[in-house]
Amino acid sequence: MGIIIIMAMTHTRRPVLRILLALTVFFALAACGKDASPSQDDDLPQIVVTYSILGSLVSEVVGSSAQVTVLMPNGVDPHQWQPSAKDIETLNNADLVVTNGLGLEGGLADVIEQALKEKVSVFVATDHIKVRLVGEGEGADPSDADQSVGAEDPHLWMDPMTLIDVVEALVETLALANIDVAEQGMKVTEDLATLDNEVGKMVGEIPADKRQLVTGHESLGYFAARYGLSLTGAVIPGLSSESESAAGDLSALKEKIGEQKVNVIFTELGTDRDVVDTLATDAGVTVVELSTHLLPTDGSYRSFLIDLASTIVNALKS
C-alpha cells in the first residue's frame, strides 16, 4: 500500500497542515505492516529519490532504517532526464518518493501525478523550505516567466542551511510513520551547519570586487544568496537548462560582463559549450566548468559542496 502526502507549495511553513498530512503517512505505513528495523532489505520501507544529490542526503538521514533507491544516474540533468518503464515501476512500488519539486524533474511530472492517483506517497522537498525567488536584474528577459522577478528557484541543494529544513521535515514525517531517525537526522543537520561554516570561510577569501557570478544557467542562486555573491547573468537566462539563449540575451550579458569587470564564466551541465566559448572569446574572459549535479566518487554531499566552492573561490580569486 502506498501513501499520499500532498503539500501546498508556499514560501512559509504551515505546521498544522504538515502535521495533519503527515498523519496520513503513519496510518498508511502501519497498514503496510512494514517494520522500521527488519533484517532483510526487502522488508525495509522502500524510499525512492529522484536525483543523486538529494538521494545522498536522504541516505544519510535514514541510514539502515530504509532502503533508498535513486532513479536518475549520477550527474544527469534533472531538467531533461526521462524515466524508463523500469524507473516508473520502481517509483510506483515505493513506500515514499522524495522529489525536489518546482519543476526540476520535468520528465517525471506526469509520472508523479499518476503515482499520486495510485496512492503513492510523494514528499516534495521544496514544500518545506523558504523558496528563493529570482531577484531584480538577475534574468536577462523579465518578460520570460522563468526569468521574471519572483520566479521560483528549484536548485535548493546549493545551500546546506536550506537542506537542514528538508532534513527536519523528512525526520518528522518518518517519525509519524514509526520510522525513528531523529538521532541520525540531528547529526546530519549538525554536519550541514558545520559544512556551511566551512564554505562561508572559503568564500570569504574572495575579494569584494570579484564576487560576481556569470553561470551556464541560473543554478547558483541559493549559493550566491547564502555566501554573499551576486548573480550578474547566465548564458541560458533561466532556471531550467531546457531554455535557450538568444542573441539579444547574449549581447546584453556581454555588456554586463564588461560593465562589472567579470573575469570568469562558469559553465555547467546543460550549457551549450560552443555558445559559452564564443561569449567568453568576445568578452575576453575565462571559462571554468562546475559540477553542479555530479556527486564525487565518495558519494557525499559534503565533498560535492566543498569541491564546488573550491572551484568557484579559486577561479574568482585568480
Mean pLDDT, residues 232-247:
56
Q: What is the pLDDT of residues 160-198, one digit of tens each?
A: 999 999 999 999 999 988 999 999 999 999 999 999 999
pLDDT of residue 82: 96
Give 212's strand partners: 230
Q: Does position 51 have pLDDT exceeding 80, yes or no?
A: yes
3-state secondary structure of 38: coil
Question: Identical fold at 15-194 and 200-317?
Answer: yes
Q: What is the pLDDT of residues 10-23, one digit of tens each?
A: 344 445 444 444 54
Boundaries of every domain in the chain? 15-194, 200-317
CB 48 within 8 A of CB 71: yes
Least trusted range by pLDDT, from 29-38, 40-49, 92-101, 284-293: 29-38
Q: Does position 267 have pLDDT exceeding 80, yes or no?
A: yes
Q: Does position 28 have pLDDT exceeding 90, yes or no?
A: no
Contacts of 166 (CB under 8 A, 6+ apart): 57, 125, 128, 129, 156
pLDDT of residue 266: 87
pLDDT of residue 65: 97
CATH number for region 15-194:
3.40.50.1980
pLDDT of residue 307: 98
Q: Please, what sign has the CA dihedral across residues 10, 12, 15, 16?
A: negative
d(CA 241, CA 281): 22
Cβ neighbour number for residue 167 with a 10 Å cutoff: 25
Instruction: Give Rg (Cα) of the chain.
Output: 20
Residue 41: DSSP 8-state:
G
**Cell numbers standing for residue 52:** 543523486
Average per-residue pLDDT for the chain: 83
Query: What distances in angstroms separate CA 43 from CA 63, 65, 245, one per listed residue?
Result: 15, 10, 48
Mean pLDDT, residues 221-236:
86
> Predicted confidence band at 29 (pLDDT cuts at 50, 70, 90)?
very low
Let me know if domain 200-317 sits in CATH 3.30.1330.10.
no
Residue with cell 501513501: 3
